Amino acid sequence: MVETILVVDDDMDILELLKMSLESDGFKVRTATDGYSGLQSARLNPPDLILLDVMMPQKDGFQVIQELKESEETQVIPVILLTARGQTEDKVRGLDTGADDYITKPFDLREVTARIETVLGRTRPIKYINPLMRTMGDGFSEEGVQQLAGHLRTAAAIQKKLLPEKLPSLQGYDLAALLQSSTAVSGDFYDFIPLSETQFGIVLGDVKGNGIPAALLMVMIRTALRLLCQEEPLPASVLKRINDLLVRDTDVDLFATMIYGILDTQASTFTYSNGGHCYPLHRKNLHGPCYTNDGEKSQLEDFKNTRGSRESTTIDFLETGGMLVGAFDHAEFASETCFLERGDILLFYTDGITETEAQESLQPTETTSEDMFYGEERLVACLSENATLTAKALCQAVVSDLALFSGSTQPNDDRALVVIRRES
């Protein structure tokens, strides 16, 4: 694309000289001999760059810049000032007013070309190369920013619609889910997919990054998953196919961590595969004589007496893992099944929960990871304390505990939480 330079100078010789030189460099050149006509030309058809003389009768260069900056159409046009030798004040004032560079008269024509190239090199990517910006409106003008904000709101609304509006009601099970976004659109997601009368697909994931790119990838994964889970009976095969799809179709640094599992209400089982996602928690009811398991760090136990007979519970991590999804073509995934007793709880979460930072006043001075973040152990404790609540109330209890820990209700990162409880 040929770029247009508008040259504004009251000296006809300089105008001609610059026009000839710049045209031979491949630019299209328009000229104006005073500030008024320069402004008019810029407004009528904004050029890619303006070479602007400072010393002009009536309206000088500074006034022209000021007026250019006042209008949305012209404020983004880069300006190089032509100043007289030794006028340091002019240079400072010019740069203060918003000029991008200045050239001192008398000048070397090669210097003019070089400076124009430098300034255009800086502004060109913003104008031409970023197609997203072109379709979404420029990010400079107020109108552009408003348009972009409007698009983001629409994206957020679409994304919200993709989340299950109403959770499925499953015989004998209590479900709850929660999503908190740190930005308008979220990289975290969950979904419930009916597979048969007694089987439900459940997915919880976290797409790398946040904002629009993460949301786009999330929509792609969600769509692929909805289709693939009807074809593939094994959760590991579903993750493998999504992995292969992402490796093939997206850039290498777009990936997700996710858990996909099938809840079977007839067999009371949860069969899952984990693609690099935080290990879910399983609060188990253990019937019969209670036993402790001190050696296991991943277990936290609480005991209670129920009408004389002792009933105990443990909280375990579902530790069958797999590679994160979408980054490596040789990634392998495994399926695992766990049995759900009456009263058992499964809790799925994203790292936005466990990596919630402590209130500054509570943070230790040393830069260690201990106590700085909410962490799995505190989540286990929170589940243990609130295990008698409904699934929905349990989600709320986690959110309240996070607010207490971080001193804020506004998350720094996206957070998602899914709770499944088998009713007792």
Partner 1 sequence: MNFDTTLGEQNIFILHVEGKILGNAADGFREEMEQYLQGGNDKLIVDLMNVPLIDSNALGAIILSLKGYQKAGGKLVLLSPQKAVRNTLEVTQLTTVLEIYDTEESALSAFS
Residue numbers at the binding site for partner 1 (CB under 8 A) = 187, 206-209, 252-255, 257, 276-279, 321-324, 327-328, 351, 355, 367-370, 372-373, 375, 413
Q: How far apart are CA 169 and CA 344, in angstroms?
A: 17
Question: Which residue has tokens 């991943």?
Answer: 298
- Six-digit token pair at 393? 């109330």
- CB 28, min distance to partner 1, A: 36
**What SS3 string covers 323-335?**
CCECCCCCCCCCE
Give the helix/strand (H/E) hosting 247: helix 235-249
**Choice between 113 and 298, CB closer to partner 1:** 298
Q: How far apart are CA 412 and CA 402, in angstroms?
A: 11
- The letter for the amino acid at 66 is Q
**Choice between 109 and 219, CB closer to partner 1:** 219
- CB 246, min distance to partner 1, A: 13
Sign of CA dihedral 358, 360, 362, 365: positive
Question: Which residue has tokens 């997919």?
Answer: 193
- CB 255, min distance to partner 1, A: 7
- CB 211, min distance to partner 1, A: 10
- CB 130, min distance to partner 1, A: 16
**Choice between 36 and 279, CB closer to partner 1:** 279
**Choice between 199 and 243, CB closer to partner 1:** 243
**Choice between 100 and 206, CB closer to partner 1:** 206
Q: How far apart are CA 369 and CA 377, in angstroms?
A: 13
Question: What is the three-class DSSP state of 283?
Answer: strand
**Choice between 53 and 413, CB closer to partner 1:** 413
- The letter for the amino acid at 352 is G
Q: How far apart are CA 334 and CA 57, in angstroms?
A: 79
- CB 315, min distance to partner 1, A: 17
